[in-house]
Amino acid sequence: MQAYLAYGTHNRARNTSVLKAAYEIGGYRINPFIIQSSILGIRPHYSSPSPLLQTLFSPSRKSKTCSVRHVYALEYPEALAHFAISSGAFTDPTVRVYTADRIFRDLRQAKKEFIRSNVRVHKGTKILLPKIFQHYVKDMSMDVSKLMEATAQCLPEDARRIAEKCLKEKKSKSFEWLPENLSFRYVIAGELIGGRNKTS
């Protein structure tokens, strides 16, 4: 959010804004790209900054196996974090507050709510999946058919029946990736504002 407050919401400025919006934490410069790729260990949702700038902003350490890791890197990456990251794009997940004592439960709930709000069934023949799931299945090393099976279970009843029918028919084009919409938008979770989800 600080990037948009400081540098504006123009889509073409997104990547440079991400680099500029860096904070010093414990003597290290941290920005949103580093948080996703080097700390959380998941695939960034948007294109990376140049290799040179990425190196300048990415302090690292060597692990016992001699692989280079960020000093703040999680021991084990968690792919569910994809559903907790919102960088201000229209197609990003809802902004929520997560706490350590219930983090996995809340991440699973965030995934379920994202599916119910964003996965669609087109003309009863095709499942339309948000692009964020491309990153998720790669980080999970999951087959797309398995993803669609799990996704169908989270859909409302009518949509679930249609999705399950598409899966049973096993058509080669039973799903399609929805394009990302980089228009500026934050959706704030209702529990943070005492009511329904609010769009900013």
Q: How would DSSP label each residue in the chain?
A: -HHHHHH---GGGHHHHHHHS-EEETTEEE-HHHIIIIIS-S--SS----HHHHHHT--EEE-TTS-EEETT--SS--GGGGGG---SBTTSPPB----GGGHHHHHHHHHHHHHHHH-EEETTTEEEEETHHHHHHHHHT--HHHHHHHHHTTS-HHHHHHHHHHHHHT-TTSEEEEPP--SB--EE-HHHHTSS-EE-
Query: Which range of residues forms the domain containing residue 150?
Result: 104-180
Identify whether residues 67 and 23 lie together within a single domain: yes
pTM for the complete prediction? 0.77
pLDDT reported for residue 190: 82
Residue 65 confidence (pLDDT): 39
pLDDT of 64 over the 50 cut? no
189 is a domain residue: no
Tell me, yes or no, whether 85 lies in a domain. Answer: no
pLDDT beyond 60 at 71: yes
- Do 164 and 125 lie in one domain? The reply is yes
Which span out of 46-50, 52-56, 92-96, 124-128 was modeled with the highest average pLDDT?
92-96
pLDDT for 56 equals 45
Query: Considering the domain boundaries, does residue 86 fall inside one?
Result: no
The pLDDT, as a whole number, for residue 102 is 93
Residue 199 lies in a domain: no
- Look over the chain and give the mean of its residue pLDDT values, rounded to a whole number: 79
In a domain, 82, yes or no: no
Residue at 187 is within a domain? no
Percent of the chain with pLDDT over 90: 21
Predicted local distance difference test score (pLDDT) of residue 196: 65
Q: How many domains does the chain have?
A: 2
Whole-number pLDDT of residue 83: 94
